[in-house]
């Protein structure tokens, strides 16, 4: 099908000619606009008649033949009718800006080459041509011979006027929430499998992605093998505790982690602006008593809080808690901004994306803290209400049905998504040697997109 429109006017030549290597001003002669089409406010969509001699075989047999494109009468928008009957409109400046050809988008670096700011706001579409199979459209713009091709499915995925839902749209994470029952069927992979190739690594990553916790068995009980295992995912995130850590309860750092004290369920590094993403943990030696490891699915706990006490859930998404790490000499770490909610919500989807909770590392709660962000119901927070919400949250975390207690052993490593899963341990005596590493959240997610999500991992770039 061929849709063609005579452009109504030329874009300002000084602007057009600056579009990098794309525009030949002499190539197209354009008409002056009529009074009716000059103003965008009177611009109407006009269906362009199909040319019946083109692609009859597609029309006869394929659903895709039902897909149509129309250029608006002022040529500054393209309306696409998809095979399911839904339509969406795309502005010409958006289409020109999102050209994915090698001149406009670097095929290797995946970075934009087109200079967005040299595209006229009212750039006109001079032609829109569907390909033979009806699944892509080729556009040309007034004053240029440059051709832009879009897959219609890609346009649908990125539609905005209106936004159309597609299978690949909004790649939602496939979380499986868990409680104490997960001990009956732990997500475990073999060390040798992870080290052997990307298939084994993908299995491990998938477990972390879905459960927020994953175990590896058969790990040689030493630092070298554990470090190699962590580096299969990404380089190590170095912190004030070092890069790869190997420690006993020797008070090497002024932090309770370096003692034999019990630790309540918490996430690590709430005092960082960007808390660490993954924590790999391998107990390589243990002779003593106690020291069981505790894990709690923070997303499940948050879902329970939302269901039972929605007002407390909302409060914990709105009150920002300051935190610090200041035990070591010359170390006064605090996040910027100074505080974050315990339950962090995506401002667009309103989905929970990060739990940030360590009651031991919480700084002073004062008038700067007892304020709601993004609140429609008033900013002030009563201190008693805050403590009530906090207590309710912790009572869910400490519900036996939510607590997973595991006695780790040499050879059995665990990794947790520190933005979702809380960890802790019971008190212990004796000798307990732990090694492991931190990994950045973005580096971990990059690996998941690459190895577990296939082509859909690249959809939104």
Q: Which residues bind Fe ion (CB under 5 A)?
A: 268
Dump the DSSP string for 440-451: -HHHHHHHHHHH
Identity of the residue, 16 or 355, whose beta carbon is nearer to Zn ion in the bound complex: 16
CA 424, chain centre distance (Å): 27
Q: How far is the CB of 99 from Zn ion (least distance, A)?
A: 3
How far apart are CB 141 and Zn ion at their closest, in Å? Answer: 10
Query: Residue 278 binds which one of Zn ion, Fe ion, none, with CB within 5 to 8 A depending on kind?
Result: none
Q: Which does 104 bind (CB under 5 to 8 A by kind): Fe ion, Zn ion, none?
A: Zn ion
Residues 11/15/20/21 CA torsion (nearest 10 deg): 50
Least Å distance between CB 410 and Zn ion? 57
99, interface contact from Zn ion, Fe ion, none, CB < 5-8 Å by kind: Zn ion
Nearer to Zn ion, 69 or 355 (CB): 69
| 371 CB-near residues (< 8 Å, 6+ apart) | 319, 320, 379, 380, 381
Cβ distance to Fe ion smaller for residue 113 or 263: 263
Which among Fe ion, Zn ion, none contacts residue 153 (Cβ within 5 to 8 A by kind)? none
Answer for the pair 19, 37: CB distance below 8 angstroms, yes or no.
Answer: no
> Cβ closer to Fe ion: 97 or 255?
255
The least CB distance from residue 172 to Fe ion, in Å, is 29
Cβ 92 vs Cβ 122: under 8 Å = yes
268 interface partner picked from Zn ion, Fe ion, none, CB below 5 to 8 A per type: Fe ion
Which parts of this chain interact with Zn ion (CB under 5 A)?
99, 101, 103-104
Q: Which does 193 bind (CB under 5 to 8 A by kind): Fe ion, Zn ion, none?
A: none
> How far apart, in Å, are the Cα atoms of 55 and each of 69, 148, 153, 364, 366?
15, 20, 19, 71, 71
405/186 Cα distance (integer angstroms): 12
Nearer to Zn ion, 105 or 309 (CB): 105
Closest CA to 99 of 145, 45, 138, 153: 138
Three-state secondary structure call for residue 10: coil
Residue 101: name its binding partner from Zn ion, Fe ion, none (Cβ under 5 to 8 Å by kind).
Zn ion
- In the bound complex, what is the minimum distance in angstroms from residue 105's beta carbon to Zn ion? 7
- Residue number of the CB atom closest to Fe ion: 268
Which residues, in sequence order, are bridge partners of residue 151?
A: 136
Partner interacting with residue 209 (select from Fe ion, Zn ion, none; CB below 5-8 Å by kind): none
Output the smallest distance, CB 434 to Fe ion, in A.
11
H-run or E-run covering 13: helix 13-16
Residue among 19 and 316 whose Cβ is closer to Zn ion? 19
CB closer to Fe ion out of 293 and 369: 293
Please give, one letter per residue, the 3-state secondary structure of 262-276: CEEEECCCCCCCCCC
CA distance 203 to 23: 49
- Shortest distance in whole angstroms from residue 123 CB to Fe ion: 54
CB of 266 to Fe ion, least distance (A): 6
Q: Which residues contact 51 (CB under 8 A, 6 or more apart)?
A: 1, 2
Nearer to Fe ion, 169 or 433 (CB): 433
């Amino acid at each position: 099908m061929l849709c063609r429109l005579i452009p109504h006017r030329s874009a300002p030549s000084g602007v057009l000619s600056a579009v990098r290597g794309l525009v030949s001003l002499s190539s197209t002669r354009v008409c002056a606009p009529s009074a009716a089409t000059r103003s965008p406010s009177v611009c109407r969509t006009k269906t362009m008649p199909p040319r019946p001699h083109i692609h009859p075989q597609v029309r006869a047999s394929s659903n895709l033949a039902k897909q149509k494109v129309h250029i608006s009468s002022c040529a500054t928008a393209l309306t696409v009718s998809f095979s399911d009957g839904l339509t969406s409109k795309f502005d010409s400046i958006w289409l020109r800006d999102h050209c994915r050809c090698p001149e406009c988008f670097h095929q290797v670096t995946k970075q934009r080459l087109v200079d967005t700011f040299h595209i006229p706001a009212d750039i006109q579409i001079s032609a829109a041509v569907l390909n033979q199979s009806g699944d892509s459209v080729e556009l040309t713009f007034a004053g240029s011979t440059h051709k832009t091709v879009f897959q219609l499915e890609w346009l649908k995925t990125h539609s905005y006027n209106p936004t159309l839902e597609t299978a690949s749209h909004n790649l939602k994470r496939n979380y499986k929430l868990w409680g104490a029952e997960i001990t009956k069927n732990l997500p475990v992979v073999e060390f040798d499998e992870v080290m052997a190739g990307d298939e084994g690594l993908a299995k491990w990553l998938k477990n972390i992605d879905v459960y927020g916790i994953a175990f590896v068995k058969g790990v040689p009980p030493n630092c070298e093998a554990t470090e190699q295992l962590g580096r299969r995912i990404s380089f190590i995130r170095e912190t004030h505790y070092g890069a790869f850590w190997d420690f006993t309860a020797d008070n090497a750092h002024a932090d309770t982690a370096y003692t034999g004290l019990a630790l309540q369920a918490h996430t690590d590094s709430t005092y960082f602006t960007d808390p660490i993403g993954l924590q790999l943990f391998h107990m390589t030696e243990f002779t003593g008593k106690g020291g069981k490891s505790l894990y709690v699915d923070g997303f499940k706990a948050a879902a329970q809080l939302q269901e039972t006490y929605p007002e407390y859930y909302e409060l914990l998404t709105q009150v920002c808690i300051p935190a610090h790490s200041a035990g070591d000499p010359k170390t006064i770490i605090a996040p910027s901004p100074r505080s974050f909610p315990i339950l962090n919500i995506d401002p667009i989807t309103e989905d929970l994306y990060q739990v940030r909770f360590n009651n031991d590392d919480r700084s002073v709660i004062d008038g700067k803290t007892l304020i709601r962000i993004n609140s429609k119901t008033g900013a002030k927070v009563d201190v008693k209400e805050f403590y009530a919400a906090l207590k309710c949250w912790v009572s869910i975390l400490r519900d036996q049905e939510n607590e997973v207690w595991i006695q780790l052993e040499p050879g059995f490593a665990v990794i947790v998504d520190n933005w979702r899963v809380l960890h802790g341990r019971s008190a212990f005596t004796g000798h307990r040697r732990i090694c492991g590493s931190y990994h950045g959240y973005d580096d971990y997610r990059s690996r998941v997109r690459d190895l577990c999500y296939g082509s859909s991992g690249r959809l939104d770039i």
